[in-house]
Protein backbone atom coordinates (compact mmCIF):
# COMPACT_ATOMS: atom_id res chain seq x y z
CA UNK A 1 0.00 0.00 0.00
CA UNK A 2 1.38 3.39 -0.94
CA UNK A 3 1.26 6.59 1.05
CA UNK A 4 -1.43 8.02 -1.28
CA UNK A 5 -3.70 5.07 -0.53
CA UNK A 6 -3.33 5.73 3.20
CA UNK A 7 -4.20 9.41 2.76
CA UNK A 8 -7.28 8.66 0.65
CA UNK A 9 -8.53 6.13 3.17
CA UNK A 10 -7.97 8.49 6.10
CA UNK A 11 -9.86 11.31 4.37
CA UNK A 12 -12.77 9.00 3.69
CA UNK A 13 -13.01 7.87 7.29
CA UNK A 14 -13.07 11.32 8.85
CA UNK A 15 -14.31 14.32 6.88
CA UNK A 16 -12.97 17.79 7.72
CA UNK A 17 -14.92 19.85 10.29
CA UNK A 18 -17.62 22.21 9.02
CA UNK A 19 -15.57 25.29 9.89
CA UNK A 20 -12.88 24.24 7.41
CA UNK A 21 -15.38 24.23 4.56
CA UNK A 22 -16.87 27.56 5.65
CA UNK A 23 -13.43 29.17 6.00
CA UNK A 24 -12.36 27.93 2.59
CA UNK A 25 -15.52 29.22 0.90
CA UNK A 26 -15.38 32.61 2.63
CA UNK A 27 -11.71 33.26 1.95
CA UNK A 28 -11.29 31.89 -1.58
CA UNK A 29 -10.92 35.30 -3.22
CA UNK A 30 -8.57 36.75 -0.61
CA UNK A 31 -4.79 36.92 -0.57
CA UNK A 32 -2.81 35.31 2.25
CA UNK A 33 -2.01 38.62 3.96
CA UNK A 34 -5.71 39.55 3.97
CA UNK A 35 -6.56 36.55 6.15
CA UNK A 36 -3.50 36.87 8.35
CA UNK A 37 -1.56 33.91 6.98
CA UNK A 38 2.08 33.82 8.00
CA UNK A 39 4.77 32.67 5.63
CA UNK A 40 8.24 32.32 7.12
CA UNK A 41 9.92 31.58 3.83
CA UNK A 42 13.15 33.44 3.14
CA UNK A 43 14.75 33.37 -0.28
Residue-wise pLDDT tens digits, 5-39: 777 776 667 778 899 989 989 888 888 788 877 76
Q: Please give the Cα distance from 26 to 5 (Å, whole number).
A: 30
Q: How far apart are CA 11 and CA 4, in angstroms?
A: 11
The whole-angstrom separation of Cα 6 and Cα 13 is 11
Sequence-ordered list of residues with C-beta below 8 angstroms from that of 32, at least 6 positions apart, any chain: 39
| Radius of gyration for the alpha carbons in the chain, expressed in angstroms and rounded | 15
Q: Give the span between the Cα atoms of 30 and 37, in whole angstroms.
A: 11
For residue 39, what pLDDT is reported? 64
**Residue 31 has what pLDDT?**
85
Amino acid sequence: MTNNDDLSRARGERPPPLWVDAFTRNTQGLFADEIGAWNERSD
